């Protein structure tokens, strides 16, 4: 799971660099959601659209204040969360609600592969 999250992060950064070579993608760190926002701004065309895994999804009825509270509770970005099972500084578990069933992740991996190939082939 960590490797697929990291692959998504690096794919987004590669696409950003392909479109805007002077883009400072490394300043994004491991923040997948910021990389996704930058990607959406740089690639608004329909042929570049895809639904990335590893993004935070909020319920439809959530208020902006509730969303801000949930965002403050998130200790780690997805790339870090899956790489390190605990906070390296404190040794404690990350805050949040997380669930993962490996057998249910296979379709996500297949879709990622298809999306990566499709989007990259349009960009080349």
Tens of pLDDT, residues 61-116: 889 898 888 777 665 666 666 667 777 788 887 776 666 677 788 899 999 999 99
How confident is the model at residue 62, as a pLDDT? 87
pLDDT at site 1: 77
Q: What is the mean pLDDT of the chain?
A: 84
pLDDT value of residue 12: 94
Looking at residue 44, its pLDDT comes to: 95
User: How far apart are alpha carbons 47 and 29 in whole angstroms?
Assistant: 27
For the ranges 4-18, 50-64, 92-106, the maximum mean pLDDT occurs at 4-18
Other CB atoms closer than 10 Å to residue 37's CB: what's the count?
Answer: 14
SS3 121: helix
In our burial notation (b when 16+ CB lie closer than 10 A, e otherwise), range 1-25 reads: beebbbebbebbbebbeeeeeebeb
Q: Report the share of the chain in percent with pLDDT over 90.
A: 32
**Burial of 81 (C-beta count, 10 Å sphere; 0-12/13-18/19+):** buried
Report the predicted TM-score, pTM, of the whole model to 2 decimal places: 0.73
């Amino acid at each position: 799971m960590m490797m697929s999250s990291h692959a998504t992060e690096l794919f987004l950064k590669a696409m950003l660099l392909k479109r805007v070579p002077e883009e400072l993608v490394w300043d994004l760190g491991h923040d997948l959601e910021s990389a996704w926002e930058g990607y959406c701004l740089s690639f608004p065309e329909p042929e570049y659209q895809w639904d990335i895994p590893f993004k935070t999804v909020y319920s439809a009825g959530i208020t902006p204040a509730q969303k801000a509270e949930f965002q403050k509770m998130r200790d780690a970005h997805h790339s870090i969360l899956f790489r390190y099972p605990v906070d390296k500084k404190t040794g404690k578990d990350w805050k949040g609600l997380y669930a993962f069933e490996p057998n249910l992740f296979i379709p996500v991996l297949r879709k990622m592969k298809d999306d990566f190939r499709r989007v990259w082939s349009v960009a080349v």
